[in-house]
Structure 1
Amino acid sequence: MIETIRAAFVIARRDFTAIIFSKSFFFFLLGPLFPLGIGVAAGGLGSQVSRDIDNSVIGVALNQEEAETLLATRARLIGSLGSKALPELIILPDFSAQEPDIIAKLDSEKSLTAILSGTLAAPVLTGSAGDVKRWQGKITLLAETALSRPATVDIETRFIGQTGSSSERGQLLTAQAGQAILILLTMILAGMVLSNLVEEKTNKIIEILAAAIPMDSIFLGKLFAMLGMALVGITVWSTMGVSVALLVGGNWNALPSPAVGWPLFCLLLVLYFSMAYLLLGSLFLGIGAMATTVREVQTLSMPVTMGQLLVFFLAYSAITKLGEPIEWFAVLFPFSSPFAMIARAAQMDNLWQHGLALAWQGLFTMIIIRFSVMLFRRNVMKSGQAARKKSLFARVTGK
């Protein structure tokens, strides 16, 4: 094992140095500018998830008669305005409308966006600043319509720091952003493993290396060299992005905070990118073991790329379904696991699950590498049973 790791380090250092100090690496750093435009154009993919997220519910703490009148008014207006134009209203029975009780209710009930108290003539809307400002006009419309007489209602607003509902929506947005970053970076960078291996197969360099170093070491070294190159590129892109953001300015506090906190979330983002890269890169190594020409590479890698998009869509659709079977499947399936787990990091603060997930993904990466080595030996080094049969046939026929 020590010799394997040492030999892998030699290969990784050789490949990493050759790539970083090449002229093409500079142009590689310009690569994200193109998928960035594609990512912006594909923003409509999240419409269904956004509809699941944006389900605003306002608790009504009025007297029973006024509360029922308000709900009946909403039912009438929905026919002309549509269900999404007005927030959902639920009556809070036997609820004290005192301010401390309202704040406690909003903190404990994640389903509630805000609470309407007071009277129809003098309503009071309590919630986070963003939620209150968003729904203040619609609540005023409902109150004025419910009064059934010409009247102007001045709604009183009370702001609290952040409700459970607004916090949950912010964490979901962070989960979406984390998954989008992972899939873009993985698809940009993982293909370089394949092109590097095919190039060395064409030049017969890989066979020279295989004569002196175990194949496991060669594959591990190449995989981690490409990962190191990817991390260098990400560091450059991140530094440029942060520098531009600091120059432009902005409200950093407005960023929705993930459940585990930003420092740990960023660390997990790097770790899960590494695992997604290693998983896909090891699969590409297996493809490179079977391919002999660039055309074969394109033919064999296309299903893998499409499959990667499918597992991303699987994890993306499971963001709003924590704990459901489809979300557990996304967590346990190795290729979708990094995307599903970064979403969990944004929404759940328990850390032990990430250790288990990283270990599971690492184990599956090693299994794929071993299988890729077997394919390479059989198809390139001709050390499998098929090669022995061919050698026997040559001896018998004299060809």
Structure 2
Amino acid sequence: MNIARMLRQALTVARRDFTATVMTPTFLLFLLSPLLMIGFGLVGSLTASSAAGSGEARQRVVVIAAPKEAAEITTADQALRKLFPTPKARPALHVEGQGYDLAAQARALLDSKQFDATAVLYGSLERPQILRRPSGWSDANYLAQLAEYTLRVQRSGGARALSQPEIVIVTSGQASGGGRSQTAFFATLGIFFLTLMLSGQAVGAMAEERSNKVIEVLAAAVPLESVFFGKLLGAFGSAMLFVCFWGTLFANLPRFLPTSIADGLSDLSVAVGPIFPLLFVVYFTMAYMLQSAVFLGVGSLAGTQREIQMLSLPITIFQFAMFGLASYAAGNPGTWIALAAEIFPFSSPLAMAAHAANSPALWPHALALAWQALWVAITVTVAARLFRRGVLNSGSPKRSKRRAERRTIDTAVS
């Protein structure tokens, strides 16, 4: 009966906190904050790519050749560029006619005002001479291969294609190991980002309610354990609303992406199959409960915003350390470090989400969830006691009543 009553009281506090958090214009801004982050990231990347592209557009690799070889070199360059992800992976080719002093001409081309030459090739194709800038190592190697390929084309009788390949795009079949590793890393990153972004909400609400004495009113009305669990559930409810909103958007994102990007996303795969989204949500829940309980417990001991910031910093550093450990586990499944990341309670949700992408076995998840649930219970219990200690030390009515009774007893004894 007492448990049912405490649960009702906790749900009442949770509903209060959830409504106070969600039904505000600030939460709408918070819900759309990733759009602002994405927008700033796009603006920054476009600015950087524009600055880099303006410099790369002036770059050239130069070949000094006789007119009879110029066409063959240009054809060979077009064939070699098909091996790169994009034709612009290497600077554009500029073929220059031969002068009297080839070495002096090559050095003059490196100092040309018309373009930025990164490497210049001159001399015969059998013994080519290449001058390059300090940063033009790869471009010099490209010119060396260009000379080799052109010479082979000349000696084989021309650049006419001898084969006609038929390329078929396969969009289904067995998942690749690389696709699983990428999904494992993105799952780890997703849980880390969400917990880092959402678990700190409860601390700010805690500091605000301690400053305006609301927490003391709640502590006088219901048991402190109910207040703690209610705040934890309320924060989790707003976090799940955030996750459901953005999860729905990302699930439909491939429909609006260009075909090339959507095809790249199709390479991502998971080993456990359709159950992976459910495991992701469950592991996010475990990670969120662990982190939020720690934040609530520690935040209840802080009296000012400065103290909260000082206490939040080591917790955030610890979160980054857990992310690094789980990221290594995502890329190196089966190693002892991956096993340690899956066992350690605070990195286990992230590492096991990666494990779900890399391994099809389901029984490890049953053990991991039981293990994590145990540590969630331990963490919540310890945090609840810290919460009680912090609230009582802040001068709650119960604490004041005890002090008054103690002063009365001391006066009567004296």
For Structure 1 versus Structure 2, the TM-score category normalised by the shorter chain is 0.5 to 0.7
SS at match of 1:350: coil
2:110 is aligned to none
Shift of 1:254: 2.2
2:332 is aligned to 321
CA distance change for structure 1 residues 256 and 377 in 2, over 3 Å: closer, same or farther? closer
CA distance change for structure 1 residues 198 and 343 in 2, over 3 Å: closer, same or farther? same
Which consecutive residues of structure 2, in runs of 5 or more, have no partner in the other structure? 46-145
Q: Work out the CA distance in 2 between the residues paired with 1:321 and 1:242.
A: 27
Q: Which has the larger radius of gyration?
A: 2
Shift of 1:224: 1.5
1:27 is aligned to 29
- Is 1:214–2:223 an aligned residue pair? yes
Match 2:242 to one of 233, 241, 246: 233
Q: Work out the CA distance in 2 between the residues paired with 1:293 and 1:332.
A: 35
Deviating more after overlay: 244-253 vs 331-340 = 244-253
Structure 1 segment 80-159 matched on structure 2, within 5 A: none
Structure 1 segments of 4+ aligned residues over 6 angstroms from their partners: 37-42, 155-160, 162-166, 387-395
- Is 1:352–2:354 an aligned residue pair? no
Deviations 1:113-168 (A, max 9, x none): xxxxxxxxxxxxxxxxxxxxxxxxxxxx9xx9xx9x95599677887959999711
Deviating more after overlay: 152-161 vs 359-368 = 152-161
1:379 is aligned to 390
- Is 1:362–2:355 an aligned residue pair? no
Shift of 1:37: 7.0
Across the two proteins, how many residue pairs are aligned to each other?
298
Deviations 1:28-83 (A, max 9, x none): 112223554798999xxxxxxxxxxxxxxxxxxxxxxxxxxxxxxxxxxxxxxxxx
Q: Work out the CA distance in 1 between the residues paired with 2:217 and 2:352.
A: 40
CA distance change for structure 1 residues 29 and 379 in 2, over 3 Å: closer, same or farther? closer
Shift of 1:212: 2.5
Code of the aligned partner of 1:198: A
Code of the aligned partner of 1:298: Q
1:302 is aligned to 313
> Any conservation in 2 of the 1:35–1:184 contact (CA below 8 Å)?
no
CA distance change for structure 1 residues 390 and 292 in 2, over 3 Å: closer, same or farther? farther
Shift of 1:211: 2.0
> Any conservation in 1 of the 2:215–2:391 contact (CA below 8 Å)?
no
SS at match of 1:335: coil
- Is 1:170–2:179 an aligned residue pair? yes
Shift of 1:293: 0.7
- Is 1:260–2:272 an aligned residue pair? yes
Match 1:291 to one of 262, 284, 302: 302
Deviations 1:281-327 (A, max 9, x none): 00001111210111110011110011100110011012233222211
> Any conservation in 2 of the 1:201–1:207 contact (CA below 8 Å)?
yes
> Any conservation in 2 of the 1:289–1:372 contact (CA below 8 Å)?
no
CA distance change for structure 1 residues 19 and 388 in 2, over 3 Å: closer, same or farther? closer
Shift of 1:200: 1.3
Q: Work out the CA distance in 1 between the residues paired with 2:295 and 2:370.
A: 21
Tell me how large the CA RMSD over aligned residues is.
3.9
> Any conservation in 1 of the 2:184–2:331 contact (CA below 8 Å)?
no
Q: Work out the CA distance in 2 between the residues paired with 1:328 and 1:388.
A: 49
1:337 is aligned to 348
Deviations 1:256-285 (A, max 9, x none): 221112x31111111111111111100001
Q: Work out the CA distance in 2 between the residues paired with 1:169 and 1:218.
A: 46
> Any conservation in 2 of the 1:182–1:273 contact (CA below 8 Å)?
yes
Q: Work out the CA distance in 1 between the residues paired with 2:307 and 2:411.
A: 31
Deviating more after overlay: 204-213 vs 327-336 = 204-213
Shift of 1:19: 1.6
- Is 1:9–2:11 an aligned residue pair? yes
Code of the aligned partner of 2:266: A
> Any conservation in 2 of the 1:210–1:218 contact (CA below 8 Å)?
yes
Shift of 1:183: 1.3
Q: Work out the CA distance in 2 between the residues paired with 1:257 and 1:27.
A: 33
Code of the aligned partner of 2:16: R
Shift of 1:21: 1.2
Code of the aligned partner of 1:342: A
Which consecutive residues of structure 1, in runs of 5 or more, have no partner in the other structure? 43-140
Q: Percent identity?
A: 39
Q: Work out the CA distance in 1 between the residues paired with 2:381 and 2:332.
A: 35
> Any conservation in 2 of the 1:197–1:285 contact (CA below 8 Å)?
yes
Deviations 1:202-226 (A, max 9, x none): 1211122122222222211111211
CA distance change for structure 1 residues 390 and 164 in 2, over 3 Å: closer, same or farther? farther
Shift of 1:330: 0.4
